[in-house]
Amino acid sequence: MLNLRETIDRQVSLALRDLLSAEEAPLACCSLSRPGFLDYTLSLPMKLARTRHRAPVVIAQELQPAVAGIGCAALAEAVAPGYINIQLSDSFVADQLSSMLGTEPAVLVRKEANGQKIEVEFVSANPTGPLHVGNGRGAVLGSVLATLLETQGYDVDREYYVNDYGSKMKLFTESIAHYLFPMLGLEHAMPDEGYQGAYVPDLAQVIYDRKGSELRSQLDEQRLSAIEEDGKKLVLASIRQALEEIGVSFDTWFSERYLIENGWNDRVLQQFRDRGVVYEKDDAVWLRSTDFGDDKDRVLVRRDGEPTYTLTDAAYHFNKFQRGYVKSIDVFGADHIGHIVPMQALMKSLGLPDDFLEVIIYQIVHFLRGGQRVVLSKQTGEIIELADLVREVGKDQARVFFLLSSADSELEFDLEVAKEHSLDNPAYYLKYTYARLCSVERQARGIGTAVPSVASPEDVSRLKTPEDCELLKCLLKAQDEVDDAARTRQPHRILYLASELAKSVNAFYQKEKVIQEDAGLAQARMLLVLVSQRLLQAYAHVLGVTLPESM
C-alpha cells in the first residue's frame, strides 16, 4: 500500500523543481486536509512568504498550475490565505482501493523487507516471582511496537532479558530454602530482604515434591544451586504462560548468566581498556562516562572484583550489536528513567553508533473499579498478577486497554468497562464494527448484489456524500499514519487509527444505504465495506487482537 503523502510530496517536488531553490524544495510537504476540504493541503506558499516577502495567496496562485499537473491530482486550488488544496483523481484512488482489495490483511500496511535487523527488548522482569499487572503495559507496548516495526520492513526480534545472576537470585534462592529446608529436617534463615510472597512456599513445595530425596543427599551448596535452577525454571514457566495468555511471545530468552559465564563482561572490559576510557581508583575500575555525557563516572568492577550492573548492561548491549542488530529498542517502566543518560553514555564509550540504542519509558497504570481507583494487593483481595487480570477481562480487552494512551502518559484502566459488552468498551467497539461489516457482505452476497474485487474510477466518482468521503480518507491515509506511528515509536496510535476507522464506518453505515436499487452506487459502497474490513483486520494484526465475523 502506498504512503500517499510521500507519493504526493514526490510528485509535487518534481513538478516544482524549476520554481523552488535548493533551500525551498524541502518545504514542499503536504498534509491531510480537514473535513469539508479537498483531500490534501500544501502549505508551502505560507512558508515561502517569509523569505520571498510576498503575499502567500499570490505565491499559491503562481505555483498552482504546476501542482495541478501532477499525476495523482484531479484538481488543485489556490485558496486564501495561501494554501494549495489537492483533490486526488478518481483513477488514482481506484488504483489504491484495488491494491488494498488484492492484499492480505496481515501485510496490507507492510513494506518490503529492508534487510535490517532490530531487537526490541521488553518485560525482562526478574525471574523471582510471577508477573505483576504493572508488567502488562510494557508487555503490550513492546509486542505491538515490534509488529509495527515489521510493517516498515525490519526483521524484528523480540527479546526477554532473564536477570538470572547476582544478588536478587541469591535472595530468591534463600527465600525458597527457608521454606524447603524444614521439609528436609534442616533449617535456613529467611534473608533480611527475602521474598515474602505466598508463591515462595508454593515453589518450595513443588521443588520438594519433585526432588526431595535428591536434595537430602546433597551438601548445602549443591542444594542451593539446585533450588535456584528449579525455582528459576518454575517462575519462567509461569511468566511464559502469563505472557502467552495476553498474546505476547518472544523470539529470544537471553540469560544474564550465559552472558557472564561466557566471558562477555571480560570482553567488554577489555574493549573499554583498549579505548582508553577506564581508570582505577579505590581498588575499583571506573568508566570515564562523564566524557560521554553522563553526570558522573560509573564503577565497572567493584573493589571485591565483582562486576557491576553497569558493566553487565554494557556487555549485554555490545552482545546485541555483535549479533548484527542495527538498533536496540529497550522498553522500560518509569522507574528506569534515570538509566537513559548512563545507558547512552555506555553506548558511546563502547564506540557504538549514536542511534544504536533507543529507550522507551512507559508510565504507571492506575486501575479503576466502579469509577474508583483500587489498590491491587493480595491483602485487599484485588488482582495483582498479570495472569489474574487477563483471566478477568480477557486477552483482547487487556491489550486494547493497555494502549489507551501514549506510553509517556499515566494510564487509567477501568476493569469494569473492560468487561462490558457495550460500545463504551473500545475493544468491543472494534469487534462490533468488524462483525457489522461482515454482516453487510453476507447480506450482499445472499441477495446477489455485486461484490467487487477491483475498483474503477466510475466507482470512486459515485462516492460523494460527506460520510462516503470521510470513510474514504480514513482508508487512503492508513499507510501514512502507520509509518508515522512506527517512526515516532507510538504503538498506541494504531489503536487510535482502528477506533477512528470504526467510528467512520458506523457513521457511514447509519447515514448511507449500501445495499440498494442503484446498482452502481451499491457496488461503490461495497468497495468501502470490503476495504474497511481488510484495513480493520490489518490494524487488528498489529494490535494482536482478534475480530469476529459475527456477534
pLDDT at 186: 95
Count of Cβ atoms closer than 10 Å to residue 286 Cβ:
19
Q: Is 434 found in the same domain as 461?
A: yes
Q: At how many degrees (to 10) do helices 478-487 and 519-543 cross?
A: 10
**pLDDT tens digits, one per residue of 335-354:** 999 999 999 999 999 999 99
User: Can you tell me the distance from the alpha carbon of 530 to that of 495, in angstroms, rounded to the nearest whole number?
Assistant: 20
Please say whether the beta carbons of 335 and 342 come within 8 A: no
User: What mean pLDDT do residues 428-450 have?
Assistant: 95
**pLDDT tens digits, one per residue of 46-64:** 999 999 999 999 999 999 9
Tell me, yes or no, whether 285 lies in a domain: no
The CATH number of the domain holding residue 28 is 3.30.1360.70
Percent of the chain with pLDDT over 70: 98
Q: Is 438 found in the same domain as 398?
A: no
Tell me, yes or no, whether 516 lies in a domain: yes
Write out the three cell numbers for 451.
Answer: 461484490
- Domain of residue 194 covers 122-262+363-419
* Ramachandran angles phi, psi of 29, nearest 5°: -120, 130
The CATH number of the domain holding residue 380 is 3.40.50.620
Q: Is 478 found in the same domain as 446?
A: yes
Q: Is 460 found in the same domain as 524?
A: yes
pLDDT at 377: 63
- Indicate whether 370 pLDDT > 90: no
pLDDT at 430: 98
- Indicate whether 36 pLDDT > 90: no
User: Can you tell me the distance from the alpha carbon of 485 to that of 490, in angstroms, rounded to the nearest whole number?
Assistant: 5
- Give 510's contacts (C-beta < 8 A, 6+ positions apart): none
Percent of the chain with pLDDT over 90: 93
Tell me, yes or no, whether 244 lies in a domain: yes
Tell me, yes or no, whether 321 lies in a domain: no
- Indicate whether 67 pLDDT > 90: yes
- Indicate whether 22 pLDDT > 90: yes
Segment (H or E) for 332: strand 327-333
pLDDT at 202: 96
Q: Is 398 found in the same domain as 254?
A: yes
Q: Is 486 found in the same domain as 410?
A: no
pLDDT band at 24 (very low <50, low <70, confident <90, very high): very high
Tell me, yes or no, whether 314 lies in a domain: no
Q: Is 190 found in the same domain as 42?
A: no
User: What mean pLDDT do residues 138-148 have?
Assistant: 98
Q: Which of 549, 538, 438 is nearest to 498 (CA)?
A: 538
Q: Is 258 found in the same domain as 128?
A: yes
In this structure, the chain runs to a length of: 551
The residue out of 419, 434, 451 marking a domain boundary is 419
The CATH number of the domain holding residue 469 is 1.10.730.10
**pLDDT tens digits, one per residue of 452-461:** 999 999 999 9
- Give 380's contacts (C-beta < 8 A, 6+ positions apart): 374
**pLDDT tens digits, one per residue of 85-108:** 999 999 999 999 999 999 999 999
* Ramachandran angles phi, psi of 193, nearest 5°: -110, 35
Tell me, yes or no, whether 499 lies in a domain: yes
**pLDDT tens digits, one per residue of 273-310:** 999 999 999 999 999 999 999 999 999 999 999 999 99
Q: Is 499 found in the same domain as 402?
A: no
Q: Is 379 found in the same domain as 244?
A: yes
Burial profile 23-60: b = 16 or more Cβ within 10 angstroms, e = fewer: eeeebbebeebeeeebbbbbbbbbbbbeeeeeebbebb
- Residues facing 327 on adjacent strands: 118
- Indicate whether 372 pLDDT > 60: yes
- Indicate whether 316 pLDDT > 90: yes
The residue out of 376, 391, 419 marking a domain boundary is 419
Structural domains counted in the chain: 3
Q: Is 179 left (phi over 0), alpha (psi -120 to 50) or beta?
A: alpha
* Ramachandran angles phi, psi of 336, nearest 5°: -100, 5
The residue out of 372, 391, 419 marking a domain boundary is 419
pLDDT at 381: 57
SS3 category, 424: coil
- Indicate whether 382 pLDDT > 70: no
User: Can you tell me the distance from the alpha carbon of 249 to that of 304, in angstroms, rounded to the nearest whole number?
Assistant: 39
User: What mean pLDDT do residues 214-242 have?
Assistant: 96
Q: For the chain, what is the mean pLDDT?
A: 95
Segment (H or E) for 87: strand 83-88
pLDDT band at 379 (very low <50, low <70, confident <90, very high): low
Q: Is 238 found in the same domain as 156?
A: yes
pLDDT band at 450 (very low <50, low <70, confident <90, very high): confident
Q: Is 195 found in the same domain as 162?
A: yes
- Longest CA–CA span in the chain (Å) reads 93
pLDDT band at 380 (very low <50, low <70, confident <90, very high): low
Question: How is 365-417 classified by DSSP, letter by letter?
Answer: EEEEETTEE----TTTT---BHHHHHHHH-HHHHHHHTTSS-TTS-EEEEHHH
Sign of CA dihedral 198, 204, 210, 212: negative
Tell me, yes or no, whether 155 lies in a domain: yes
SS3 category, 88: strand
Please say whether the beta carbons of 360 and 406 come within 8 A: no
Tell me, yes or no, whether 491 lies in a domain: yes
